[in-house]
Chains A and B, each alone.
Chain A
Amino acid sequence: MAAVKTHVRTTLNGEATEYLCEPNQSLLEVLRDVLFLTGTKEGCNDGNCGACTVNMDGRIVDSCLVLGVEAEGSDILTIEGVATPEGLHPIQQAFLENAALQCGICTPGFIVASKALLEKEPNPSEARVRHWLAGNLCRCTGYDKIVKAVVDAANTMGGKK
């Protein structure tokens, strides 16, 4: 039976966003099924694939492991907030130019996670990229081109500074 819903206020992709959710709904469920922001993907719903990665108050989380009610007062970035009206983010561009996606279902999670890395560490080594993104599964690419895309984006972003 449906439970009483809680009123939650967040900042989502830079905009004040309110929603109602049940106590057993995950943030992932809220994003996808309440707010219809389906760019954040569900791959396993138990925190093991990283497809649902979002940035919550400056750190990346598996949104399937966060309750919707826990997001009260949080600042959340999803894949929908990564590009701007001016264009794609350099990481998004690098994923396209390096053919770093095949089916693309894992791509939003990889991009959100990579963005958090490059904001903390502008010039990560290949090993560091592999370590940081080890929680994001991709079954299509063998990761080779994803690693190259992230390193490539780091170079582009560094070059802009």
Chain B
Amino acid sequence: MTTVDKKKYKVIGTSPIRHDGADKVTGRAVYGIDYHMPGMLWGKILRSPHAHAKIKSIDASKALALPGVHAVVTGKDMAVAADIEVEAGETSLNYMHLSDNVMARDKALYKGHAVAAVAADTQHIAEEALALIDVDYEVLTPVLNGREGMKADVPLIHPDQTTKVMAFRFDPGTDTGEKSNVAGRSQLKLGDIDAGFKEADFIVEREFTTSWVHQGYIEAQNATAHWNNDDNITVWNSSQGTFNQRQLMAEILKHPVSQIKMVPLEIGGGFGGKIPVYLEVPAAMLSKKTGHPVKMTMTRTEVFEGTGPASAAQMKAKVGATKDGRITAAYAELVFEAGAFPGSAVGAGAQGMFTAYNIENILIDGYDVVVNKPKSAAYRSPGTPQACFPAEAVIDELAELVGMDPLDFRIKNAAKEGDRRADGVQHPEMGNLECMEALKASDHYKSDLGGPNRGRGVASGYWGNAGMPASCSIAINADGTVSLAEGSPDIGGSRTSIAMMCAEAFGIAAEDVHPSIKDTDSIGYNGLTAGSSTTLRNGWAVFEVTNQAIELIKARAARLWETEPENVDFADGVFFSKAEKELKLTFKEMAGKLMETGGPISVAASVAPRGAGPSFTTHMVDVEVDPETGKVDILRYTAAQDVGTMIHHDYVEGQVQGGTAQGIGWALNEEYFYDDKGQMLNSSYLDYRVPTMLDLPMLDTILVEHPNPDHPFGVRGVAEISVVPPLGALANAIYAAVGVRMRDLPMAPHKIVKALQEKNGKTK
């Protein structure tokens, strides 16, 4: 369904075949892992087998003596990066922490932490060499849980770290001076929760946990680097942001940013995990040492253990409502495990967790706790799936106490334009209520569950979306086609959606625009392919370049028609004389006349858009739970999401479906299993087990188009939020099916069986 009066578009809203499609279905597309150079060496990383250990010494002499080995580097070979925090688009970053995460210097802080890197003629020789590097460790007791890590008598992972009370990540805040694994404490407060809870007739307070989960992109991290004799460094890799990684490289290597070129190859998934740098740094260092280009790729185990998964969280939520179903107050405590260095997404979780609702009194306490696990990274709506899970579960319990349908309860409390979020900001125009009402009007809602042990759950979600700068350039070809250069890596089809906006502006077909993604030397600055911002911000950039080009072409048409440019107008792909109606030429015809009217036209523009517009969504799921085995079968799933103006219909829908599938995995079976020494026990796809085709049904969508009023094409970010609601929706559906409230993720079969046994034991 579509809503709100929408502009009439010819290209926008259709589903043309993507421009990189033929390359990707024939195997010709070159991804980061596919890159190859003559004379290239292979690099491999030696990783700590311990979750927490002092590195007393590293002896690489035996490895270096192995024929075919060219060089070994360790953390000591790296300059010490500045201990400062900087804006990195995604979140802020501390360069020293980032550098220490790329390769440990004095202490290994998690199992899988890189401690040395070797370059050799082949991958196999490099692997052999790793086994010959002697590292003398002093094994320390690991800290493996956020709440445990907050206690006074546990080992300190960073002995000098003190807790700061912060409003923002990495602000100087108020240093409590208390040495602790709690890196930061923050709070969001709106209104007066004591007064709010006093007003409530029903109050539900519960505790929840979630496990570490991984983005699970199929292409492992990789980097090929060449440090040239003139000290120019080139890196070919798959990343979510070349310009951001260029900056990170410059800071870690202490190398001028202008002497680093990042070349974006095709990227096999990212979901937030390919924002930081990992292999890029040792690959460059090994290249410098050997004079050869060096390629490095991670194994799947290295990806699980040595990159940035999403934080586990321990949480409390308390929500109150009146008898007539109005939520009066909400409280939450969020403890997020940041991993080995500070900086979990707890702040984003706090900002998102109650935001789909209009609640006047809110208090959320957030704790960012370091533990001996990999440093967390962004994962699709970072922090928000974890935090919305308790919110949605408690709100579901309240709906039951009040005696309202869970969807009606949400509709009654839905946040609307002008309502305030927990941080005090007023909601702009958005489609939150429309999503809920669309779901209520759906066939799914009206359908019968049709059997025992079946239940239906709903949950809502919010994600703020990001803006970030973008640059693009166009060149108009004589045949009326357009070459479009972009600088944001395309992970899910964004080059086509951006090309479609370009085509729309010129009144040509999507196929007449030829998009390509350029390296950092060949295009202006671009932010990350993250925050659901790529189509939004590049749409702005395309709007700028096409408008500028149209003005230039108007002048050419004026020359042809021997009039002034202001007498020429452009609409629906046609340039025409305002005075003489018969004087008109299409964009394509004008493109053929550029050479004779002054030469070719190309335009570049950079933008820093604002008004990203938030995302809202509500999901509904039917499940059947096998009470004997605890297995949950998903019978039917519908995601209703405000997607703004859809540019490419099918790829918008694909984002909604893909995020939903990841949320289902998060809810039902994905987790990092650790033993008490901090060893991950399931670091393979077989044992970690992301959802397969057999685990999922068709994923139905209701795409509510509430155009973003602050975007020239009405674009609103669409890519992240769908991962948020499945956690709560499935917990609520399982309760509706078999009467147990699951509050610890994942809701694996053995946990459901145990919960059912406890419930039946009690009732007997």
Query: A interface vs B, CB < 8 Å?
Result: 1-2, 22, 24-25, 29, 32-33, 36-46, 48-49, 51, 78-80, 82-83, 88, 92, 95-99, 101-108, 111, 126, 129-131, 133-147
Partner of A39 from the list B27, B215, B660 (CB cut-off 8 Å) is: B27
B34 near A137 with CB under 8 A, answer no
Q: Which residues of A contact B66 (CB under 8 A)?
A: 1
Whether B423 sits at the interface, judged by CB under 8 Å, is no
B651 near A49 with CB under 8 A, answer no
Whether B503 sits at the interface, judged by CB under 8 Å, is no
B25 near A37 with CB under 8 A, answer no
B651 near A102 with CB under 8 A, answer yes
Stretch at the interface among B168-176, B397-405, B683-691: B683-691
A139 near B28 with CB under 8 A, answer no
Given known contacts A133-B693, A145-B657, is B29 in contact with A104 (CB within 8 Å)?
yes
Q: Which of A96, A106, A129 has the most CB of B within 10 A?
A: A96
Given known contacts A42-B33, A103-B267, A142-B696, is B685 in contact with A137 (CB within 8 Å)?
yes
Cα A133 to Cα B220 in complex, Å, equals: 21
Q: How far is the CB of B235 from chain A (nearest CB, A)?
A: 18
Stretch at the interface among B120-128, B349-357, B364-372: B120-128
- The DSSP consensus for interface residues of chain A is loop
Q: How far is the CB of B660 from chain A (nearest CB, A)?
A: 6
A44 near B25 with CB under 8 A, answer no
Q: Which residues of B contact A78 (CB under 8 A)?
A: 27
Q: Which residues of B contact A33 (CB under 8 A)?
A: 36, 123
Partner of A141 from the list B34, B219, B654 (CB cut-off 8 Å) is: B654
Cα A41 to Cα B653 in complex, Å, equals: 26
B684 near A41 with CB under 8 A, answer no
With CB as the reference atom, state the residue of chain B lying closest to A91.
B25
A103 near B698 with CB under 8 A, answer no
Q: Which residues of B contact A82 (CB under 8 A)?
A: 26
Partner of B27 from the list A38, A144, A145 (CB cut-off 8 Å) is: A38
Query: B interface vs A, CB < 8 Å?
Result: 15, 17-18, 20-22, 24-31, 33-34, 36, 66-68, 121-125, 128, 215-220, 266-271, 297, 299-300, 491-493, 648, 650-651, 653-655, 657-662, 684-686, 690, 692-694, 696, 698-699
With CB as the reference atom, state the residue of chain A lying closest to B31.
A105
A1 near B67 with CB under 8 A, answer yes
Q: Which residues of B contact A140 (CB under 8 A)?
A: 269, 491-492, 654, 658
Q: How far is the CB of B224 from chain A (nearest CB, A)?
A: 13
Q: How far is the CB of B295 from chain A (nearest CB, A)?
A: 10
Given known contacts A103-B492, A131-B694, is B300 in contact with A43 (CB within 8 Å)?
yes
Cα A133 to Cα B692 in complex, Å, equals: 8
With CB as the reference atom, state the residue of chain A lying closest to B15.
A99
List 8 tightest A-B contacts by C-beta distance, closest first.
A39-B27, A105-B268, A142-B661, A99-B650, A104-B24, A79-B27, A38-B34, A142-B657
B31 near A46 with CB under 8 A, answer no
Given known contacts A46-B300, A99-B650, A99-B651, is B124 in contact with A24 (CB within 8 Å)?
yes
Cα A103 to Cα B699 in complex, Å, equals: 19
With CB as the reference atom, state the residue of chain A lying closest to B492.
A102
Interface pairs (8), CB distance under 8 Å: A33-B123, A38-B34, A41-B31, A79-B26, A88-B22, A92-B25, A103-B492, A139-B690
Q: How far is the CB of A4 from chain B (nearest CB, A)?
A: 13
With CB as the reference atom, state the residue of chain B lying closest to A22.
B124
B693 near A136 with CB under 8 A, answer yes
Cα A126 to Cα B492 in complex, Å, equals: 25
Q: Which residues of B contact A144 (CB under 8 A)?
A: 657, 696, 698-699
